[in-house]
Structure 1
């Protein structure tokens, strides 16, 4: 696999995962009650616990996105 192919791969991974991160953040910011009511059907937990979990997973996804998508893409842009 050559560098331009890898660069395009990581570019699209970054775009797709960045879009998911933005969508998830917007849903948690704009409609937190809807997200809680939807998830409460499957996971009967208190609202405070839900808030901690959802923001923890959001932070974890952001770190994974940066480390495994954006950083390799930027490194390939620099190398290429």
Structure 2
């Protein structure tokens, strides 16, 4: 089906872009986490420890969202496009 092919291609590109964005976020946040934590702690009136926890929560939730919303549907469409398994 053409719809499955288009959707599979869309999810593939979405998966690739989301993984690239996550890697970029890690590359930017990890080396400068103390400086960012100080800045965000002052901006939002919370402790640096809470800000650092928020960074790691963001990374975790983003990774879960990528898996659930991009990777699993992509794999399902790839399996579906192979034809009947039984």
With the length of structure 1 as denominator, give the TM-score of the two structures.
0.84
Name the structure 2 match of 1:51.
52
Equivalent pairs counted in the alignment come to 80
Name the structure 2 match of 1:16.
17
With the length of structure 2 as denominator, give the TM-score of the two structures.
0.79
Structure 1 CA distance for aligned equivalents of residues 9 and 36 of structure 2: 33
Report how far residue 35 of structure 1 moved. Answer: 2.8
Unaligned runs of 5+ in 1: none
Higher relative contact order (CA 8 A, sep 6+): 1
Name the structure 2 match of 1:79.
80
Unaligned runs of 5+ in 2: 82-86
Report how far residue 26 of structure 1 moved. Answer: 1.7
Q: Which has the larger radius of gyration?
A: 2
